[in-house]
A and B are shown apart, each in its own frame.
Chain A
Amino acid sequence: MIPFAETLPNSTVVVNKLTDDSNIIGSASPKEISLFIISLVVAYVLGLVIAHYLKLKLSHRLKPDQLTLLTRVIRVLLIIFAFAATVPALLDMGFTILMLIFVGIIAIIGLSSQKVISNMVGGLALLYEHPFATGDFISTGDVSGTVVSTRLFSVLIRTTSGVSVQIPNDQIYSTDVAKYYINVARRYDYVVGIRYKDDVKKAIETISGLLDDYTFVLKNPAPNVFVNDIDADSVRVMFRIWFPSVWANTKDDISFQTEILPHVKAALEAAGIEMPYAHREIFFTDPDLKFPKLHEGKE
């Protein structure tokens, strides 16, 4: 080996570098390493500043997820530019360091659980398929709420009660997701019970008239009011109404009920129609059966 190294002086240099502990960072000088780190920091800070500026200027023109994508692309490009501008000087860093970095990456991947990887794959699938956007109202599993952000490993949802729920991507990708924004109109169903002796036709006309005057109840498809069931205590009248999704999705179910049902009740009562208490009629086979007097004057 030595005679061969003597004929090829460069090979001798490599051998010397690999065995020289004092030269572990290769030919990269402290100045070059500092420049590399500083340029990355500058690119990161510049990306933050540009993102802030774009948010101020474009937040009313772009959707939140579009704005987020734009700022992320710009920030990543800045980082890549800074990296590309400074890393050539570091490329001939010591082989030991390169190996350490490589082994470190392998170790990180190896130590990562399968869950993390599956979440990342789920995140990439969500980014590719784009089944919902930031700001959409969705339901998945037991959670309903507005999508705050879609990240690489999880989706952050803000529920109507103001709680933020972080759902792993693999979970959200493998379960059913109800999307409330995909259609421009949504239907809501409500049921009210009226007494047997009340005029059903009048009740239907009363509810239909009320809904016709209600701004956000769509004219087409027209509200559908009909007798849904006749149960032990009441005649059940169902009404199906369509709302614009863009408006309905800003409300929760409680808001609808408090907005619609009190008006229906008031309109029915104004028309002389009442919602009955649960009651039961009992018939006795012995017509002479007498009940003992419990109180004076009352049977």
Chain B
Amino acid sequence: MFGRYERGFSYSDPEVNLRIDDTTTLPEYRRECGGTVVAKHLAADYDAIHIHPVEPVNLPEEITHHLEISFPPIVLPPTAKKKIFLTFPVEIGVFFEIRGEMSLLDIFSLVPTKFSLYGLPGTGIITRWYRSGIFSDIPATDLHREGVLELTLINSSSTTVDISRAVFDCYGMQMFYGDRVGMTATMEIVSPVIASTTFTALPPKGCPNRSIDLYAARRFAIDPRNSFFMESGME
């Protein structure tokens, strides 16, 4: 599904039907997915349509820009460094291109959304929550539902730590797609309760194409920092 489509595009699989009808007065975008039908008229003479995986924090509405991945507990000894693979939910963004400028047309997902609270109600943050398994190699995934996060755990503290979740700030998320949807990140444990998570710009294996950053497409002012400090624990 992911990639660039010329005018008059349509895509269909057992779960999703997407198309733009260029014969109407204004081009009509139509999406049928999970029993839901979305139709929009495009008041612009577009050049192409792009479908990319986007930061999974937009649905059903923008409540947070943090992604929390929960996984079975991992015990990490002091000074240890370990690469693991996790899965994360995929949201699919449909963009239209006009003279090289991308604008968002639609976002949908095949994965149900769940939110959580990281920290205390007074000082914590709301996160998009997702449960993942732990994998030592790239797991097989449905690229329309799940992506693969290559996470390098680094324990810089002098104590053994238990880790069962990682929280990321999606403003710094750098997603890639190809055979699968993927991204890479590091999680550096500073102390038993504090860690820093950072996305890296390295494309994971099998994911040569860079996704459109949704927040850049919406012309949001993005904080150049792409690290997030987990100050409310890791389990």
Contact = CB atoms under 8 A, between A and B. Distances in A.
A60 to B, nearest CB: 10
A121 to B, nearest CB: 30
B116 A215 contact: no
Interface in B89-142: 112-118, 121-122, 124-126, 129
B61 A184 contact: no
A247 B60 CA distance: 11
Interface string A120-163: 00000000000000000000000000000000000000000000
A184 B117 contact: yes
Interface string B45-69: 0000000000000001101100000
Contact of B114 (A185, A186, A219): A219
Interface string B212-235: 000000000100000000000000
Contacts of A220: 116-118, 129
A185 B117 contact: yes
A246 B126 contact: yes
A213 B126 contact: no
Given A244-B63, A244-B64, A247-B61, A218 B122 contact: no
**What is the interface residue range for chain B against chain A?**
10 to 19
A242 interface: yes
A276 interface: no
Contacts of B63: 244, 246-247
Contacts of A247: 61, 63
Contacts of B64: 244
Contact of A184 (B60, B112, B124, B221): B124
B121 A185 contact: yes
Contacts of B117: 184-185, 218, 220-221, 242, 244
B131 to A, nearest CB: 9
B115 A216 contact: yes
A218 B64 CA distance: 13
Nearest to A242: B117
A215 B113 contact: yes
Given A244-B63, A244-B64, A247-B63, A185 B113 contact: no
A183 B122 contact: yes
A219 B129 contact: yes
Nearest to B122: A183
Q: Which of B64, B121, B124, B129 has the most CB of A within 10 A?
A: B121
A18 interface: no
A182 interface: yes
A185 B123 CA distance: 10
Contact of A185 (B60, B61, B70, B124): B124
Contacts of B122: 182-184
Interface string B66-81: 0000100000000000
A219 B114 CA distance: 7
Contacts of B114: 215, 219
A215 B115 contact: yes
Contact of B121 (A61, A183, A213, A215): A183
B124 A219 contact: no
Nearest to B70: A219
Q: Which of B60, B70, B126 has the most CB of A within 10 A?
A: B126
A213 B116 contact: no
A184 B114 CA distance: 16
Interface in A186-202: 186
A61 B221 CA distance: 9
A186 B117 CA distance: 11
Given A184-B126, A247-B63, 7 more contacts: A182-B122, A183-B121, A184-B122, A218-B115, A218-B116, A244-B63, A244-B115
Going nearest first, the 5 A-B pairs with the smallest beta carbon separation are A219-B116, A183-B121, A185-B121, A244-B126, A219-B129
Interface of A: 61, 182-186, 213, 215-216, 218-221, 242, 244, 246-247
9 contacts: A183-B122, A184-B122, A215-B60, A218-B115, A220-B116, A221-B117, A242-B117, A244-B64, A244-B126
